[in-house]
Structure 1
């Protein structure tokens, strides 16, 4: 899998309405879920208690926090595209984002990203990416929606 190199606003704009790429799969481990729980102080049993989840959860397994899945977007995005000649990138927002299907522990997820739109706002480029987080072997995705990045290109 090769990373798409984007050097300028115009090169980014060429992807408008198209899939930019797909990341590698990433396995979500119980250890990772536990570390996220500690970092966010969200220790709900559905994420951490394997025995209880097997008995009481409709998923029969622990599941990743939805926000853990969301927080992996930058890591997965870096596997798809490298935006160069950029002084700064800022996570600007999330729109119409839905958690469609829980990510069970030890599942593998990947990101598919398309460029919905990009506009130049007096030197700052606002890119709206439509993203889908897929679960390996599942028909329904874990999540989908739009994420917005602001870029300041040097050229």
Structure 2
């Protein structure tokens, strides 16, 4: 776990790999729960028998969006940022899924801070400071040469100026 104590310390990390998360397993139960939550029941994800016989992967694979959805948890296990009144996922600039995630795989994230900038005060709330962080994350699948997911994510932190 990497601990960043101040925003100034965080700013020093721009362009650098900030942290690497612990490994997490993506088992069939997790895949099935994601399919249930999203309504995406495509056989390559949920039909183990058919996937073993017909899929080029020889087994079921995780949904790409399941892999992407693990990023907030992987990041929270890898790096602690300075306290903030509120932090939100603001969006994504780019996402790719270069390699499949076979069920039972172990994943981890390599996290790099691409940019950090202060935004103008919120309309009607000049006392609120907004900091935007742009992260480059690569989710590795143990034993695979290509990453399972590469994503550029944007988060925003909101704090009252004291």
TM-score above 0.5: yes
Q: How many residues align?
A: 153
Distance 2:16 2:87 in 1: 21
After TM superposition, the structure 1 = structure 2 runs for residues 28-67 of structure 1, keeping only pairs within 5 Å, are 28-67=26-65
The aligned counterpart of 2:155 is 149
Structure 1 moving runs of 4+ over 6 Å: none
Deviation (angstroms), 1:12: 1.3
TM-score (norm 1): 0.94
- Choose which of 104, 118, 137 in structure 2 pairs with 1:120: 118
Cα RMSD for the two superposed structures: 1.2
The aligned counterpart of 2:100 is 102
Q: Is the 8 A contact 1:135 1:142 kept in 2?
A: yes
Q: Is the 8 A contact 2:89 2:156 kept in 1?
A: yes
The aligned counterpart of 1:136 is 142
Deviations 1:94-119 (A, max 9, x none): 11210110100001000000000000
The aligned counterpart of 1:71 is 69
The aligned counterpart of 1:93 is 91
Deviation (angstroms), 1:84: 2.4
TM-score (norm 2): 0.90
Q: Is the 8 A contact 1:8 1:153 kept in 2?
A: no
The SS at the match of 2:85 is strand
Distance 2:31 2:78 in 1: 24
Distance 2:37 2:114 in 1: 32
Structure 1 stretches of 5 or more lacking a match?
Answer: none
